[in-house]
Amino acid sequence: MPRPDEAQVWFVYFAELADGRFYVGHTNDIKRRAAEHEEGKRCTRTTHVFGFVRVVYHEEFADKATALARERQLKRWSHTKKLALVSDNLSALKSLAKCRSSASRHT
């Protein structure tokens, strides 16, 4: 366990589910959290019902507040946009971001 004066790293992650969807979560120990999902310990209703497959993507953050803000942002993304991020397809990400911002200006 880290000492209080040590910096703690937080992660936002995508877990692939058996039906192809992504679960977006946060943790301060990604290996432990993946094991919990896999073993069904402390797992979310979503990963329990739809079947955890594996962690397919993660980002690191210096603090919990920033990780939570990023988690909220990613949860609002479409499956297509999440897939582009997981696949490291930056051109698709840019295109999807332009489509979304363009649509919001016209409503």
Convert the pLDDT of each residue in 57-107 to its tens digit.
999 999 999 999 999 999 999 999 999 999 998 888 888 887 665 555 544
> What is the residue extent of each domain of the chain?
1-76, 78-107
Higher pLDDT, 18 or 96: 18
Classify domain 1-76 by CATH architecture: 3-Layer(aba) Sandwich (3.40)
According to the model, what pLDDT value does residue 84 have?
Answer: 94
Q: Is 44 helix (H, G, I), strand (E, B) or coil?
A: coil
Distance CA 91, CA 75 (A): 20
Q: Which pTM does this prediction carry? A: 0.82
Higher pLDDT, 36 or 98: 36
Token output for 52: 């955890």
| Segment 20-46 mean pLDDT | 90
